[in-house]
Each structure stands twice: as C-alpha cells, then as structure tokens.
Structure 1
Amino acid sequence: MSNNNIVIREITSEDNSQIAQVIREVLIEFGAPKVGTAYEDVSLDNMTEAYGNSASVYFVLENKGKIIGGAGIAPLENCEGNICELQKMYFLPEARGLGLGVKMMKKCLEFAKDFGYHKCYLETLPYMTDATKLYAKVGFESLDKPMGNTGHFSCNVWMIKEL
C-alpha cells in the first residue's frame, strides 16, 4: 500500500469505535497484557471526549474511510512541570513501513510544542522494538523510571524528549 491516500487528521466521534478496535487489535497482535496497558483504559471507547480539551489532541490515520492508526498528546497526569505524554500510538500492519510513524510523530510533537509543552513523555513495552526505534529516531531518550501516573504499570520502557 502506498501512503498517497492516507490522511492524518483529528479524531471525530464517528472514529471512536474504529480506533478503539485498532488499538486493541495491535495490543493483542503483540501479546501485550490487557491489564496495565491502554487495552483497559476507560477512555478507549470515547476518544473524542478524552481528547476534547484544549491541552489534548488525538490524530487518526485514515485510508479511504478506514481508520488504520492513531496517536495523541495529553498532559502527563500527576507530574510537575509542563510535560505532555504521547499516548495510544498504534498502527495496523497495513500502515507500517510507509513513513507514517515519523509523520504522525512530527504532527503530535508540533502540537505539543505549539501548545507550550516543554517535554514529551511516553511509555511502551520492551518487545515493541520498531516503535522504540522510531521514538529514538525522533529524539526520545530512555529513562530509568516512570513519570507521572499513567496507570499503565505493564509498560516498562519510559522515554522523554525535550521540545
């Protein structure tokens, strides 16, 4: 698949069920635990509401009406400083290897910087190696311990980037 027909845009309420399904499918594909990951997040089925304030945004990848991935930015809860979190960045296999991860990261980080965040934090799983490589490629650095309170205790890879 080429990425010529793929659009990165802000989520709408019509996308809620599709992006929830995408995220759950990808987590299952990678054998991620359902507990302590985005899989069980209450917000997963109501993403437009979860990202509906001015300090947050969620973008989806759309290909001819089908949602094939997404990622968002929101304030990092229970953390001092002006730090946001890159959240729920998951792509279906058909969206991988097309350069869309870098495009999505740039879009999210541009929003974060424009909004005035100073740093961006993320959590992932150790066996999501392609994602970790992508994060490092755009300037994220590893941390020794988690920050804030994401509720994702099963995610034990923590990274941060200066904006």
Structure 2
Amino acid sequence: MQPGDMGWVVSRQTVLYTQEYGWNGEFEALAADIASRFIREFDPARERGWIAEMDGQIVGSVFLVKTDTPGTAKLRMLYVEAAARGHGIGSRLVDECLAFARQAGYQRITLWTNSVLADARRLYERAGFQLIEEKPHHSFGHDLIGQVWAREC
C-alpha cells in the first residue's frame, strides 16, 4: 500500500455504493473511520491490506484487521470496481485474506455486510464463510439487513 491509497479506497467505495445502492454520506463516515483506525493502529504482524490494480489503476481492496477477540480477525471494506468485476479480483482478495490469517495464526475470520451486497455475499459463501447473524438496521439512508459472516481458518 502507498500513501493516498486509503483515501482513494474510501472515496471510490463511497461513490460506488452511492451509485449502486443510493447510500448517503453515513457510509463515507464509516469507511473513513475504518481507514483511519487501520492507519493509526496498524499492526503489521496481525493486519494487512491489499489494493488490487488492473492496467495501473486501483480496482479494488480488502483489509484484514485484528479484533478484541483472541484468535479472531475481521475482513473489512472488500470492494471491486464495477468495470473490473468478472476477472476473479474479489475472490483473489478474499483468498489473500484467508492465507494471511492462517499465517498470522488466526483461527477465525468474521465480517459484517448487508444483504443487498449480493455479489460480495456470493464471494464469501464460495470462500467458506457462513451466515451467523442477521439484524435489521437503518443506516446509509436506508432500511437494511446487516449480516455477520464467519469461517474457521
């Protein structure tokens, strides 16, 4: 990762979710908070971020962060640009998270997403994640169904 990558990720993911799902600025605040925390509290032995590029352009990202629960990591901010979908980038990003989690000694990975993010949910299912919790909430200007997914490493 290079300086400026996190700002790019926050911006692009916010624009993408605004265009595709009509989400408001609340999502940008959440994404910026996640990015800021990643930069400020980065633990290179336990955390990692990946930026996917195609033809010299950033087309996606994902982050794996430690949690307060021993042995458990959290997958954060997976996204792939619409024009880059169908090239296996999302699967590769998730696979990188899984490989690093095993190497770092994690036993479990969790993630939080929303039911409307169907493409991401399919990636998680193919990677062996299982839905463990659903809860309705109002965020980003919409009524949504939040989901927690998990898998063993």
TM-score interval w.r.t. the shorter chain? Answer: 0.7 to 0.9
Q: Residue in 2 aligned with 1:108? A: 97
Q: How has the CA–CA distance of structure 1 residues 133 and 96 changed in structure 2, closer, same or farther, with 3 Å as cutoff?
A: same
- What does 1:22-33 correspond to in 2, within 5 Å? 22-29=12-19, 30-33=21-24
Q: Residue in 1 aligned with 2:51? A: 60
Which one of 84, 108, 116 corresponds to residue 73 of structure 2? Answer: 84
- The reply to whether residue 131 of structure 1 matches residue 117 of structure 2 is no
- What does 1:143-154 correspond to in 2, within 5 Å? 143-144=132-133
- The reply to whether residue 13 of structure 1 matches residue 3 of structure 2 is yes
Q: Residue in 2 aligned with 1:71? A: 62
Q: Residue in 2 aligned with 1:149? A: none
Shift in Å, 1:101: 1.1
> Residues of 1 paired with 2:54 and 2:40: CA distance?
23
> Residues of 1 paired with 2:13 and 2:37: CA distance?
11
Q: How has the CA–CA distance of structure 1 residues 87 and 61 changed in structure 2, closer, same or farther, with 3 Å as cutoff?
A: same
> Residues of 2 paired with 1:48 and 1:71: CA distance?
12
Give CA deviations for 1:74-107 in whole Å, capped at 9, x if unaligned: 012x4x3311000010111012111111111111
Shift in Å, 1:23: 1.4
How many percent of aligned residue pairs carry the same amino acid? 20
- What does 1:91-102 correspond to in 2, within 5 Å? 91-102=80-91
Give CA deviations for 1:128-152 in whole Å, capped at 9, x if unaligned: 1111111001100011258xxxxx9
> Residues of 2 paired with 1:140 and 1:123: CA distance?
11
* TM-score normalised by structure 1 residue count: 0.76
* TM-score normalised by structure 2 residue count: 0.81
**Structure 1 gaps, min length 5:** 1-10, 147-151
- How many corresponding residue pairs? 143
Shift in Å, 1:52: 3.1
Higher relative contact order (CA 8 A, sep 6+): 1
Secondary structure of the 1:110 match is helix
Tell me which protein shows more strand as a share of its residues: 2
2:73/2:101 contact within 8 Å kept: yes
